[in-house]
Structures are given as structure tokens and as C-alpha cells.
Amino acid sequence: MQTVVDGTLTNYEILNSQSKNTLLILHGWAQNSSFWIDTAKLIDSSFRIILLDLPGFGGTQNLQNESDVPEYSQFVKKFINKLSLKKFILAGHSFGGQVAGDFAIKYPEDITKLILIDAAIIRIRGPKTWIKIGITKIIKPLLSFLPTESVNSILKLYAGDYAKANAYQKSVLHHILKYNLQFKLHSIKVPTDIIWGSEDKLIPYVGKYLVENIPQAKLHVIYGAGHLLHLTHTKKLANTINEVILE
């Protein structure tokens, strides 16, 4: 389905359209609503499931260049107003979880529950990141002398998301990687359920920190799952979401 949100052509999918309760799911970086269809089909049919393509992904147009997490959470706010959504459950995976967390802080009156799924809420540059930055600074002057294929291989090795991104996405990525909600977690006042893959190597160990710093939070670990648990552990994730939304 498509609609126009404040001038932005917006794509989204709805399952169980006649159901009274609503669950809105925000996908992660470099994905779109189609990545969540299989999971959504396993979620209890008493919920209307809305899968939104965030701006710059799937069938939704870009926002302005240099947009950051606040612009995305504001877009979500405009989207729910467009659809007249009230008192719904908001879930977000990875980057979508970062947006969902920011939304929950700013618009708590709109949601009854927050679900964070391997959410990229805390943005801290660890030792590995600093090493990559250092190496990049060293090799960057040398890239102009290498064949294009070699340059692309190096970029994918040291900056995978950036190398795969288009110009708009690169402008957004530059900002969201520095948008850290770590010191605002106490401001999330709605009941929050944190779902984490035990083998998440992209954002490891953060689930425990979130549950200790977000009021009214519960942690649910899916053992054996990595960061893309909606693709690798679809049924387990859906079962966990059902437990959360039906309690």
C-alpha cells in the first residue's frame, strides 16, 4: 500500500487489517518491510500488523539529505497521524529500534508498549571501530591508485554498510552512527520488552544493559540467534513477540 506523508511517497504493508489492536514494526538498516512478512504472518491475528518502509528504503522516498534519527522518528509520527493510529505497540529492529526508542521518548502518549529487537540504540565506538578508522585514514590516500574493483573490496571490508549505501543513505548513516541514546534510556517510560539474539556479533551484550537502564523493561533472549533473527529464527521470534503482545 502507498500513501503520501508530508510530501513523501510512503510504502507499507498491512496484515489482519480488520483487527482492533495494532503492532507497527520498523525494519533495520538496508532492509524494508518485505524482510518482515514471514515473521508478521506468524504473529497473532488479533493484531493488525503494519510494516513500514522507512524513508530511503523499499518503496518509500528519501527525506532530506543529512537526515538523522529525530527526522525519522518525526516521520513515523506523521505516518501514524496519517493513518489515525492511537495506542499501538511499536517494535523496531536494529536501526528501526533506534528510531523506535527515540519515538518512545518523544511521543510516549501514542504507544502502549515498546519492543526493541537487537536495537542499535547505543552508539559507542569500540576498539575495533577505532582500529578500522585508523586504517582507513592510512589507506585512503592510496585508494586513488588502485583499480575500482580493489577499492570496492577494501571499502566493503572496513565499512560494509557505507560501501553498499547510495548517496542519500550515506548522508543518513553519517549521522545515525553518532546518535547515542545511552544517556536517555531512563526517559523511556512505557513498558518495554527487549528481544536479543544470544549470538549477535554486530551489537553484542547490549540487551542486558538496556534492561538494566530502561524502567519497566524485560529481556527475552533467543538462544542461537544472531543479529538477523527475523530471517534465521523466524518462528522463535514470532513466538516471543506473541508472548509479549498477548500478556
Query: What digits encode the pLDDT tens for the residues 107-131?
Result: 999 999 999 999 999 976 444 443 4
Burial (0-12, 13-18, 19+ Cβ within 10 Å), 162: middle
pLDDT at site 116 = 98
**Using 50, 70 and 90 to split pLDDT, how confident is the model at 138?**
very low
Q: Residue 59: is its pLDDT beyond 90? A: yes
Kind and range of the H or E element at 196? strand 192-197
pTM exceeding 0.75: yes
**Using 50, 70 and 90 to split pLDDT, how confident is the model at 165?**
confident
What is the fold, at CATH topology level, of the domain defined by 2-123+180-246?
Rossmann fold (3.40.50)
* Domain boundaries along the sequence of the chain: 2-123+180-246, 127-164
